[in-house]
Amino acid sequence: MTRVLVVLNSPTSSMGRLEQLLPEAGLDPFLTPGSELPETLDGFAGVVLLGGGFMPDDDVDHPFLARERRLTTEALEAGLPLLGLCLGGQLLAHVTGGVVTARSGETERGMCPLTVLPAAADDRVFGDLPGVPDGPLWMIENHADSVTTLPPSATLLVSSGVCPIQAFRVGEAAWGLQFHPEARPERVATWDEAALSEQGINRAALAEAALVHATENEAQSRALVRAWSDVVHETAK
């Protein structure tokens, strides 16, 4: 099995579907807390950066982020496939010259419809997802911070009316996503009810709405992870 590093930025995050989907695609995920990151990517064929509720340069409260940014740069320079999810995507944007804004006003919670752009037609991860471009990409979102300026060298692949920068590619093998293909819709029912209530959001209603498009979300998430895994295998040859 081809080994990939999976970075756990927050103890409240999880691999979710990736725990099943990566091994099904022939990858061996090595889940590592941010505080235990390796010095280099030697021995890894790819990198997945999971989410977290803080900024990618919040080094005071999360000192491991400096090493995570260095490893991201190492992956980019070596051409190792990288998949950044939510905070992970923001970190990729940060190290490649984009702008990440705290509490940007582009807040999204729950299941959201996203638009796969024409630029993604020949993309190795987003070019052949089920149900698009004829219909939306249905993904779980849970963020208040967002990428507000695309990195200069990036290609925008997915957008929405609420948050324009939903997914982008840097180079040929690094993808940053604002959404969570690893998150199953059922997870919404476990989110912090009090915190959601303070934002004027009813958790029960949010959880119920997330299940409406669960079938599309499952199929599209599986296809996305499989496509990225294929890139890892192709690069490792």
End-to-end CA distance of the chain: 13
**Among 86, 108, 163, 216, the one annotated catalytic:** 86
d(CA 154, CA 96): 8
- Which one of the listed residues 62, 143, 180, 213 is annotated catalytic? 180
Question: Among residues 94, 182, 213, 216, which one is catalytic?
Answer: 182
CB 150 within 8 A of CB 165: yes
Q: What does the block give as tokens for 83?
A: 């998949």
Q: Give, as one character, the DSSP assignment of residue 179.
A: S
Does 112 qualify as catalytic in the annotation? no
Dihedral over alpha carbons 91, 96, 98, 101 (to 10 degrees): 20
Write the single-letter amino acid at 198.
Answer: E
**Helix, strand counts (H, E) of the chain:** 6, 11
Residue 40 DSSP symbol? S
Is residue 76 a contact partner of residue 36, using CB atoms and an 8 Å limit? no
Candidates 96, 120, 93, 117; CA nearest to 178 is 93
- Active centre residues (catalytic): 86, 180, 182
